[in-house]
Amino acid sequence: MLTPTPLMDLVTGFWSFKTFAAAVELDLFSRLAGGRTLTVADAKAELGLPERPADLLFTACAALGLLERAGDGYRNTALAEEFLVRGRPYYFGGQVAYCDQRTYLPWHRVGEALRTDRPLTWDPATQESMFTTADPQLLATFWEAMYSTSSFTAQALGEAVDLSSYRRLLDVGGGSGAYPISLCGRFDQLAATVLDLAHVCEIADGKIAAAGLSDRITTVAGDFLADPALPGGHDVVLFSMILHDWDAVRNQELLAKAYAALPPGGLVIISELLLNAERTGPAPAALMGMNMLVETTGGRNYSDAEYSSWLAAAGFTGIRTVRFDAPGANGVVLGTKN
């Protein structure tokens, strides 16, 4: 029997996110680190929450798989303990905070973005792009948000694509360096360069040093859009969750730059949430495309067929798609320079 239950699930989806975001804002999961248990009665002293709100929050977090009952109280689930305790290597709270602080309210005006084709989180009339901001806290939150997502996506890429015959990788717009850190950790012969804006390279340098990989991963300050060429000396060029930020013309220009920068036999990797050829899904890729409407001037998510055609036009051969399941991408499109 057909019912409107799936529609109700769509209508109430924001309830889950805002409950999750409120718990992260309270740093609830960090307070429960190491198996600590907290009762509703103790929430007043610990969190400043009266009994009824505490009961409702704890119940909802348990229903969402973030807390579990332990006697009279609640404790972190394994998921929360691994990713939602501040200071853990793959802390995911930055992603939650960024979406809550940066994109949630602008999304309320998504109808405006649909009508005007203009981003809602920044003003193109006064700012060059969403990645240039005078707010250092917002910048730090953004890259912290990306690090956990990118780290696990890079792990999936490393399991799906054998890079053991390559020597040096260029991560274009590499942000905080999550991909090179993960891939160099997996492939001992691999070294890498992160190419990004100067203030982003400073963040990457810190992450790289913390991972003990400063001898194998370097950063180069530059603007991959404006610079006429990409740095040479690499046999792999990686675009990780980058090309969805730009329109088709800009992406074709970037792939042509990658072709020019690579030696014969060099590999280009496009890591993205890929749409299917029919443009009917999957939902994460389609909804990321909607987020590009909110956050960029020309970005959208593309299918692997579109990326493949652009790679072929740039001169790449041996073009193929490799699928995997990860938080930031569902696969990669690969091409080789003859």
CB 298 within 8 A of CB 246: yes
Which range has the worst mean pLDDT, 129-143, 194-208, 229-243, 321-335? 129-143
- Is residue 320 classed as helix, strand or coil in its secondary structure? strand
pLDDT grade for 132, boundaries at 50, 70 and 90? low
pLDDT at 230: 98
Strands 67-70 and 73-76: antiparallel
Average pLDDT (127-133) is 70
Burial class (CB in 10 A: 0-12, 13-18, 19+), 220: middle
Token duo for residue 118: 């203009």
Average pLDDT (318-322) is 98
Q: Is 281 a residue whose pLDDT tops 90?
A: yes
Q: Which residue, among 152, 217, 148, 149, has the nearest Cα to 181 in the 3D structure?
A: 217
**φ/ψ of residue 271, rounded to 5:** -110, 115
pLDDT at 300: 98
pLDDT at 127: 83
pLDDT in tens, 188-209: 999 999 999 998 999 999 999 9
Token duo for residue 7: 């529609």
Rg (alpha carbons) of the chain, rounded to whole number: 21
Sorted by where each starts, the structural domains of the chain and their CATH numbers stand as: 13-83 (1.10.10.10), 153-336 (3.40.50.150)
Average pLDDT (203-231) is 97
Give the catalytic positions in this structure.
244
Token duo for residue 165: 């015959």
Give dist(CA 150, CA 162) in Å, integer: 18
pLDDT in tens, 37-60: 999 999 999 999 999 999 999 999
**Cβ atoms < 10 Å from Cβ of 38:** 21
pLDDT at 133: 60
CA distances from 290 to 36, 110, 244, 302, 325 (A): 39, 9, 11, 12, 20
The length of the chain, given as a count of residues: 338
- Is residue 199 classed as helix, strand or coil in its secondary structure? helix
Q: Which amino acid is at 260?
A: A
DSSP result, 114-146: HHH---SSS-TTT-S-TT--S-HHHHHHHHHHH
CA distances from 150 to 133, 142, 239 (A): 21, 12, 12
Q: Is 287 a residue whose pLDDT tops 60?
A: yes
Task: Report CA torsion sign: 17, 239, 298, 309.
Answer: negative
Q: How far apart are the first and last CA of the chain?
A: 56
Strands 317-323 and 331-336: antiparallel
Q: Which amino acid is at 210?
A: A
pLDDT grade for 146, boundaries at 50, 70 and 90? confident
Q: Is 134 a residue whose pLDDT tops 60?
A: no
* Reported pTM: 0.94
Average pLDDT (202-224) is 96
